[in-house]
Structure 1
Amino acid sequence: MTQASPAFPLAFNARLTIGTRGSPLALWQAHAVRDALAQTLGRTPESIVVEVIRTSGDRIQDRALAEAGGKGLFTKEIEEALTDGRIDLAVHSAKDVATFLPEGLHLAGYLPRADVRDALIQREGAGLADLPQGARIGTASLRREAQLRRLRPDLDVALLRGNVQTRLAKVRGGEFHGTLLALAGLDRLGIANEASAVLDTANFLPAVGQGAVAIETRIADEATNAAIVAIACRATGIALAAERAFLAALDGSCRTPIAGLATVESGEVRLKGLVLSPDGRDAAEADVRAPVADAARLGAACGTELRQSAPARALGL
């Protein structure tokens, strides 16, 4: 084994353990973080352990997450292992991370963000306009459902849970005319060619955090935090600071259709936010900018503005 880089504490000569879900996409993300850390620390990838932890979200497949307790179900058991010291860091899809984290934990950084857009997978045709009247579309996302209904009120949107392969199989098998998945996930699994169409963010905004890989650590673990800072993407961190503050101001969860996308360019962060009623008929949206240093403040202000202006039905009131 190569020696740890002198830029990092000797604690990294000890075993380092990453916690993750066990789906193919989750494992791709964990291995990407492992490889980046190994290079930074001067270690072999094999010297960093990837531990699979089954979450409540993985076990519950027969109902929407909103009915079962929210998207934190995909991180709960992993965060418990992190708090207890059984793992040193957790790797998540950023869009699955709850708005508020357990005490003592934080998001230490993100890998460079991939394509944020949603992909439509359908049995026939190449876009929403090609779906037949009343086509059955499967999704577990209230955000996707609301935006689909906003664009195509005639569609029959039904619950479809499971990993990427499960959802694709149910479309191929004829249970659904189509489904929506994150293009980033398809890309990372090497199956982007499954996409029939890629939906433009101009009229179909992604989930907060979509396309980003989040790394969660204990706040007090200085050695691990230092290593994460060394591999983290600054622009992604700025964008997610705005998006997550936006979500927090709305008290966002899986129970409200919320979409948001922040981009960083020329020293500015631009945030587009959207809140919808479940049927997509009512909506409030914003498009705001600020210097990158004010990313979190921008997100919080945008979320507060939409919370005050959104129709009551859009906030589930």
Structure 2
Amino acid sequence: MAMETDLIRIGTRGSDLALAQAHETRTRLMAAHGLPKDAFEIEVVSTAGDRIQDRPLAEVGGKGLFTMEIEERLSDGRIDLAVHSAKDMPTELPNGLHLSCFLPREDARDAFIGHSAQKLLDLPQGATVGSSSLRRQALLRRMRPDLNVVLYRGNVPTRLRKLAAGEVDGTMLAMAGLRRLNLADQVTEALPLTSFPPAPGQGAICIESRIGDERVDALLLPIAHEETASALACERAFLAALDGSCRTPIAGHARFSDGKILFSGMILTPDGRDAHEIETDGPAADAAAIGRQAGEELRRRAGPDFFASWT
């Protein structure tokens, strides 16, 4: 039975990947409620993070640069829900908004795409690798201190074009994004979660909406994925305990096994020389507490001087 509703307005960034994620959300909602495509309107919103391409995001404001303009439209009612990459979301959201739904998580691994070598460890000494992520840059420097790691901004197709043109010898992208864009055939090496741990939230699509919006809550309920929500509660609590932002090289990944959450986390200095890791587990019902305690423990181990080096 179709759900009776007015036009459902979905806010998103305008990149190919963001639009693919918005379209996936729409497709799932259409199937869950028997709705036609024209029951939805996808509104593309230009964000500061998309417009600023010449500097590291950490220098100009961090994660919120990809969400602020979209959240303004959500708060004032111009859109009904917003579709985001979970790893782009700050741990603190504007008053009145919440992450109300997570879709089933895609592959959380990082992918290496090599131009002069297919595998990261096979790159020649001094090769140039481009990345916009402080976490990936730090992990690259930790694994291969000899590499020339450079800032590499742009959406997925832009980065691939730069790579093909020989601007860098290799780059790192999220496997999930490449899969969603049908570009997984570009990957030359999928890096193990153990040796190259992902960003908290990597591979997950989240939906943000207004707290107390019963219409949207009912709309999203059938497509919400409980395991992904629990894993992200753990990872985001870990991030929050570390005051994580785009300034902080932080990795964290939660997964399910036999009814428990298994969590592994890491913090690094930007040069990759100093790192602290943790592995822990517990009941899925305690996901947020597990993540928070892991973050607090790493903060204690690292000491205040470690974090001072990030600012």
TM range, smaller chain: over 0.9
The aligned residue for residue 108 of structure 1 is 100
2:232 alignment partner, SS class: helix
Q: Deviations over 1:75-110 (max 9, x none)?
A: 110011000100000000110111110110000011
Superposed CA RMSD in Å reads 1.1
Q: Does 1:315 align with 2:307?
A: yes
Give the drift of 1:126. 1.8
Equivalent residue, structure 1, for 2:235: 243
- Aligned residue among 194, 200, 205 for 1:208: 200
Distance 1:142 1:93 in 2: 17
Rounded to whole Å, the distance in 2 between the matches of 1:113 and 1:20 is: 18
Change (3 A) 1:67 1:38: same
- Separation in structure 2 between the aligned mates of residue 254 and residue 191 of structure 1, nearest angstrom: 26
> Cα offset for 1:196?
1.0
Residue number in structure 1 paired with 2:117: 125
SS of structure 2 residue aligned to 1:280: coil
Query: 1:4 matched to which residue of 2?
Result: 2
The Cα of 1:311 is off from its aligned counterpart by 5.1
Matching of residue 91 in structure 1 with residue 83 in structure 2: yes
Residue 22 of structure 2 corresponds to residue 30 of structure 1: yes
Q: Give the C-alpha shift of residue 302 in structure 1.
A: 0.4
Q: Is the 8 Å Cα contact of residues 129 and 169 (structure 2) preserved in structure 1?
A: yes
Do residues 80 (structure 1) and 78 (structure 2) align? no
Q: Deviations over 1:222-259 (max 9, x none)?
A: 11012212101111001000000000000100111000
Q: Is the 8 A contact 1:278 1:314 kept in 2?
A: no
Please list the CA deviations of residues 184-203 of structure 1 after superposition, one character each: whole Å capped at 9, or x if unmatched.
11111111011111100111
Residue in 1 that maps onto 2:178? 186
Report if aligned partners of 2:114, 2:120 keep a CA contact under 8 Å in 1: no
In structure 2, how many angstroms separate the alpha carbons of the residues matched to 1:222 and 1:235? Answer: 23
Structure 2 distance, partners of 1:190, 1:173, is 21
- TM-superposed CA distance for 1:115, in Å, is 0.3
In the aligned structure 1, how far is the partner of 2:117 from the partner of 2:141?
19
Note if contact 1:238-1:264 (Cα within 8 Å) is conserved in structure 2.
no
Percent identity of equivalent pairs = 56
C-alpha deviation, 1:36, in angstroms: 0.9
1:40 maps to 32
TM-score for both structures, normalised by structure 1? 0.95
Q: Distance in 2 between matches of 1:311 and 1:169?
A: 42
Structure 1 unmatched ranges of 5 or more: none
Letter paired with 1:106: H
Q: Distance in 2 between matches of 1:55 and 1:97?
A: 13
Amino acid at match of 2:259: G
Moved more, 42-51 or 241-250: 42-51
Task: Give the number of equivalent residue pairs.
Answer: 309
Matching residue of 1:258: 250
TM normalised by structure 2 equals 0.97
- 1:299 partner SS: helix
| Structure 2 unmatched ranges of 5 or more | none
